[in-house]
Amino acid sequence: MDYRAVLQELTWTRTILTLLSATITYSVTCVLYNAFLHPLRGFPGPKLAGATGLYLGFYKFHGETHVVVKRLHDEYGPVVRVGPNQLSFIEETAWKDIYAYRGKDRSQMQKGDKRGPGPKGPYHIINAPDDVHARQRKILSSSFSDRALRDNQSLLIGYTEDVATRIREHAATKTPIDIAKYVEFYTSDIISDFCFTESYGQLKAREQEPVIAAIHKFIPIEAKISILPAPLAFFILLQILGRNQIRMLAKAEQQIKTRLQKNIDKKDVMHQLISHISEDGNGITFRELSLNTLILMLAGSETTATALAGAFYYVLKNKHVLRKLTEEIRGCFNSTHEITLDKLARLPYLNAVIEESLRLYSPVPAALSRVTPPGGASISGHWIPGNTTVGIPHFAAFRSARNFADPDAFHPERWLPNRPVEFETDRRAAFQPFSAGPRNCLGMNLAYAELRLLLGRLFYEFNFALVDEESRWDDQKAYMLYRKPPLMLHVAPRL
C-alpha cells in the first residue's frame, strides 16, 4: 500500500472539509450578525431580506424585483430594509435627500454600482466621478437642450414619417403590426443619427441592428450574473460584454473619425460635440466622446421605446382615454404638416397621457442606487448609517397608494391643470421618471420630443386597436429594463 498517497489524499480531504466548515461558519455568522446586530436591524422589512442578500437576489434572478419591492412597501411602509445593507424609500422627500447636491460643498452621494459598462479606459458620463461628470455633462447637455431639438426637428419628423410609412403598409394589407418593435426601431434610428450622423436604418430595413439585438439579449444575463460576488460577476461580465463593447466602441470611433475627415457641414448634435474635442482637460477628449456616444446610443433608445410602447398599450386599453386623446389631436391640426413640437407641447391631454404612462410603466422600474457618506445622512427624516445602499424604486414609488389615488389604474386626468378632486391629494413630487439631481437623465428633452411627435402623429392619422383586448401586456419581468413581448395592434386609416 502506498501510505504516502493515502496520507496525501487525507490531507486534501481534510483541507476541503476545513474550508467548507469555515465557509459555513462564516456564512452563518454573517446571517446572524445581519439579522440581530447590524445597524439597520431596526428598519422594517422581512427578516430574511435583512439577513441575506439571497432574498432579493432570488427575485432579481427571476426578473421580479420591482414587483416584490412594491409589495414590501405596501406591507411595511415608506422605508423598507430590502437587503442586509440596503434600504428602499418611496417618499417624495427622499428624491432630494438621496439624489440632489448636499450641503455647502455640493457633494453627492456616490453611485451604488461602480462597475463601469465600458472597456478599460477613460470615464463616461455614467461611471465618471463627480468632477469629470460635471465637465462632460456640461458639454453633452447642450446637444439635448430644447433649442438643439428644435434645430433638429426636421430630423425627428423624418423618422416619425418613416414609422407612419411602415404602418400604412400594414393598414393596406390589413395585417397586425407589432408596435413595440417599430418604436424600438424609431428611437434607435434617431439616437444613432444624433450620435453618429448615420442612422442604423432599421425602419427602412424592417430589421434590428445585430449589435443592438445582442445587447438586448445580454441584459437579463447581466442581471442574473450580477447577483454573484462582485469580483466574479465583474470578471464574467467583462468576458461576455467586453468583446461586444469593444466592437461597438471601435465602430463609434470610426464613425466619428469619418465625420472629422469628411468635414461634414451638418448642424446636428455631433457637430456641437465635435466642436468641444480637446485633450487639455477643459473640453472632451476623443476617447471620452466615443464612449459617451456609445452610452447615449444604448441608454437613449430602449428606455424611450419602452415608454412609447406603454403609452400605446394603456391608451388602447382604456377606450375613454383613446377617444379624448384622438379628439384633442385631430381637433388641433388640419394636416400632418401642422404637427410640430411646440404645438404638441401645448396639448394638455396628450401630455397628461404621457405622464400617466411613465407613472404606470416607468422605463427603469428599479432604484438607481446610491451609497450614504461615511458619516451617515438624513433621508426622509430617518438617520441612515454611513455606507448604506439607498434608492427609490420607480415602480414601487409611482404605484404606491401613499403617493397616488387609485395607483394601479390609468388616469391621465390626474396630470391636468384642473385635476379632478379625487386626485388633489396626489404627491406629484414623488414622480420623477427621469430621476433627480445632477445625474438625472441627460436625454429627458429628447424623450419627451419623441413621445409627443410619434403619439401625436400616429393617433392623428390612424385608428388602432389591440389584437388581444384581454391581454395583461404590462405584466412583465424586468432585468434593469422590461422584457417586452410583442404588442400587436390592428390598424386602419382614420375615417
Name which of 82-91, 93-102, 188-197, 398-407 the model is least confident about: 188-197
Q: Identify the pLDDT of residue 234.
A: 59
* pLDDT tens-place string over residues 344-364: 999 999 999 999 999 999 999
Q: Identify the pLDDT of residue 88.
A: 99
Residues with Cβ < 8 Å from 495, sequence gap 6 or more? 463
Q: Is residue 441 annotated as involved in ligand binding?
A: yes
Q: How confident is the model at residue 118 (pLDDT cuts 50, 70, 90)?
A: very low
In percent, the amount of the chain with pLDDT more than 90 equals: 60
Rounded CA separation 376/370 (Å)? 12
Q: What is the mean pLDDT of residues 129-140?
A: 89
Nearest to 429 by CA among 123, 121, 141, 95: 95
Collapsing DSSP to helix, strand or coil, 383 comes out as strand
Nearest to 176 by CA among 465, 473, 493, 471: 465
Question: Residue 457: which region, alpha, beta or left (left: phi > 0; alpha: psi -120 to 50)?
Answer: alpha
- Judged against a pLDDT cut of 90, whether residue 202 lies above it is answered with no
Residues with Cβ < 8 Å from 421, sequence gap 6 or more? none
450-459 residues labelled b (16+ CB within 10 A) or e (exposed): bbbbbbbbbb
Residue extents of the structural domains in the chain: 1-36, 38-493
Cβ contact 50:40 at 8 Å: yes
- The distance of Cα 428 from the centroid of its chain, to the nearest Å, equals 20
Rounded CA separation 157/220 (Å)? 33
* pLDDT tens-place string over residues 47-63: 999 999 999 999 999 99
Comparison of pLDDT for 367 and 16, the residue scoring more:
367
Q: Identify the pLDDT of residue 469.
A: 93
Q: Identify the pLDDT of residue 9.
A: 61
Q: Identify the pLDDT of residue 192.
A: 86
* pLDDT tens-place string over residues 308-342: 999 999 999 999 999 999 999 999 999 999 999 99
In one letter, which amino acid is 7?
A: L
Task: Enumerate the β-bridge partners of residue 177.
Answer: 489
Name which of 146-160, 187-201, 225-239 the model is least confident about: 225-239
Nearest to 137 by CA among 271, 246, 288: 288
* pLDDT tens-place string over residues 373-389: 999 999 999 999 999 99
**Among the four given CATH numbers 1.10.3470.10, 1.10.630.10, 3.50.50.60, 3.30.230.10, the one describing domain 38-493:** 1.10.630.10
Comparison of pLDDT for 43 and 258, the residue scoring more:
43
Rounded CA separation 436/421 (Å)? 28
Q: Identify the pLDDT of residue 109.
A: 93
